[in-house]
Structure 1
């Protein structure tokens, strides 16, 4: 039995519980987005009511998801450029006293051993309901397509159109959103930008990067561009904007 959603800050969770929940979450280089680091503390402070967990019968977290509120006029060309820009707009809007009208679902994750049991959909539904309770009329999400890493050379503009023979999206995470009624709005080719030294990227990817150039990296949705002379690696991650309502 899965509980009704609770706020992630409702109580202190054990390291073991959180380690299991997030054990197959995101690649280590996802933390290299410097702008996210600048804003994430204020996101957690300002929008804790949109940071939720689902618990099992024993009170163990089995799914988590979170979002941010911002103001958006409903036009695709007025969307944030992606995940990072959504955080920036939400925080700046809050600090400027701008009344939000849109929930941006920033992410959802399920304990690996429980994948395929509908928990991701339940988590997304819980976030949508939390947004509605907060008076946010619209719901959008910069979706990170899970199978895009198999096609890092394919532009996101092409990938988001790929379908299976039954007409549903090739990517399972896009498919999950669509099953809940969401529609693809627009590509977000630069949803996040990650930078680091060559040594940092070699650590994050477990690859040797002996010369300047573009590299296909594990779990990368696009390629890593390495400049050995400048000692920097640049990775720009694409997402897909989807609208739930």
Structure 2
């Protein structure tokens, strides 16, 4: 593959291809209420932080995409540490920074997505490195990521802190996505226990998952990192997804 990577600031004409991208995420994850603050502006406000990749032989179809967002952090603005609400938190911080006219100090990764038929081909590491280079090119020294470990969904009842503590004999994380971050210099700095919160009626959750959602209690949902909390009496279900903060010095 003759891979080409560019930002939408460099190639705004490619923005329509995002609509046709084969998104690999489960349906319920597309209903985080914070997400539109970012994704509604990927080709405008955040064009420089939206990377797209394609095969030069097939320029009309993306093979991967990457999203990041700049935000401010520091004791002087009451943000001494990364937020417990991870993915949601940095998007909201960036929005508040924009409203306040505050200059960003850090960049947070939000997503790397690989076309499903190309997963496992090494594109994830290429896109992560492109994300790192893009942040450095814009003058930033710190890239953080509220990482979604890609095999945690196989153990939904295991606390994230315990999952992260599992390492191989070579000292690298057992989880492949965390391990990839570690191999390129990322350091795990903590767990964000509520990186993303998604709530809905039972009818919505049935539509998102195809599951009955007919009993109160915890329900295991395919590809969810934690069980979903269900209340039949109150006609709602709430999913609180944890993440892992990883820091990359650039």
Q: Provide TM-score, normalisation by structure 2.
A: 0.88
Give the equivalent residue in structure 1 for 2:66: 65
Contact 1:43 1:68 in 2 (8 A): no
- CA distance, structure 2, for counterparts of residue 18 and residue 137 of structure 1: 32
- For each residue in 1:116-165, what CA deviation from the matched residue of structure 2 results, as whole angstroms up to 9, or x when unmatched? 33211111111111111222221000001110000100111111111133
Match of 1:78 among 76, 81, 98: 81
Give the equivalent residue in structure 2 for 1:46: 45
Per-residue deviation, 1:61: 1.6
> Which range is displaced more, 50-59 or 34-43?
34-43
Match of 2:194 among 190, 195, 198: 190
- CA distance, structure 2, for counterparts of residue 221 and residue 76 of structure 1: 27
- CA distance, structure 1, for counterparts of residue 154 and residue 69 of structure 2: 29
Contact 1:101 1:135 in 2 (8 A): no
Cα gap change, 1:234 to 1:4, in 2 (>3 Å): closer
Cα gap change, 1:124 to 1:204, in 2 (>3 Å): same
- For each residue in 1:43-65, what CA deviation from the matched residue of structure 2 results, as whole angstroms up to 9, or x when unmatched? 65322110011111222321100
- CA distance, structure 1, for counterparts of residue 94 and residue 144 of structure 2: 13
Contact 1:43 1:87 in 2 (8 A): no
Give the equivalent residue in structure 1 for 2:4: 3
Q: How does 1:1-245 map to 2 (within 5 A)?
A: 1-7=2-8, 10-12=12-14, 19=20, 21-23=21-23, 25-38=24-37, 40-42=39-41, 45-58=44-57, 59=59, 60-73=61-74, 78-81=81-84, 82-245=86-249
- For each residue in 1:163-206, what CA deviation from the matched residue of structure 2 results, as whole angstroms up to 9, or x when unmatched? 13333211111111111110101101100000000011112121
Show structure 1 runs of 5+ residues with no match. none
RMSD (CA atoms): 2.3
- CA distance, structure 2, for counterparts of residue 12 and residue 141 of structure 1: 25
- CA distance, structure 2, for counterparts of residue 113 and residue 235 of structure 1: 28
> Which range is displaced more, 190-199 or 67-76?
67-76
Q: Provide TM-score, normalisation by structure 1.
A: 0.90
- CA distance, structure 2, for counterparts of residue 204 and residue 171 of structure 1: 26
| 3-state SS, counterpart of residue 190 of structure 1 | strand
Per-residue deviation, 1:35: 2.8
Show structure 2 runs of 5+ residues with no match. none
